[in-house]
Amino acid sequence: MTAKPVTTVLFDFAWTLFASDSKRWVGNAVASIDRTLAAGEAHRIAGDFAELLRATATDPAHIARDLDPRVWDRAILAVLEQIPGVDQALASVLHETRAEAIEPYADTVATLSALRDSGVRIGVVSNVGWDIRKCFARHGLEGYVDAFVLSYEVGFVKPDPRIWGAALEALHAAPGQTLMVGDHPAGDGGSVSAGIPALILPMVDSPAQKRGFECVLRLAQVAS
């Protein structure tokens, strides 16, 4: 039996399409409150933040943060304050400026462009409590995405299969012709419960690096 062609690709947001420029994010926040950091501390703080968020991504106790922007704000501040060397003042500035330092990976633009040019529909499925569209707009990428399916807007959190049901409905897509791309095995890999194959990419923490999307293009039979 011949496999059906991929007509739709769903992407996770954080650490899949975009990531924080840790040096700029933490460095600017520290400078804004007249502090200094030792060498390597900016990267360490950003890394600790990423690990804490990923570790709680599918924890039932943290689902509420991805369903309500007000809970999200409080929860993210609490996560930042758990990081050694981050007090309440620094956590507040880091939270306020985080979105400004989120950038696409080095191969994100080319990948989205290649998929769009080949007629593949693109969705973003994210557990998040704020409107990530502003990050796409800041980099001129909002036009590449056919549908944003955000947990706080649809009321479901990955790995709940209903969030992928919402994505399939929004994109008029069939699960057997859809591919989910993410970085979290438990969260993003939950798409298989909705009949959607998942591609889980290894972690890449710097947006200056390539994310390895050539395998996405191969699976979608799209020329890079």
Q: End-to-end distance of the chain based on CA atoms, in angstroms? A: 26
The answer to whether 199 and 181 are in contact (CB under 8 A) is yes
Phi-psi group of 14: left, alpha or beta (phi > 0 → left; psi -120 to 50 → alpha; rest → beta): beta
The answer to whether 97 and 10 are in contact (CB under 8 A) is no
Record the tokens describing residue 180, joined without a space.
């989910």
Q: Which helix (H) or strand (E) covers residue 36, if one does?
A: none
What was the pLDDT predicted at 224?
A: 67
What was the pLDDT predicted at 61?
A: 63
DSSP, collapsed to helix, strand or coil, labels residue 200 as strand
Q: Using a pLDDT cut of 90, give the percent of the chain over it.
A: 74
What was the pLDDT predicted at 121?
A: 98
Record the tokens describing residue 222, joined without a space.
């799209």
pLDDT of 36 strictly over 50: yes
Averaged pLDDT, 90-112: 95
| Residue 36: partners with Cβ closer than 8 Å, 6 or more residues away | 30
pTM confidence score: 0.90
Task: Name which of 214, 186, 211 is nearest 103 in CA terms.
Answer: 211
Confidence grade of residue 1 (pLDDT, cut at 50, 70, 90): very low
Record the tokens describing residue 139, joined without a space.
């980099």
pLDDT of 56 strictly over 80: no
What was the pLDDT predicted at 207?
A: 94
More confident residue, 124 or 53: 124
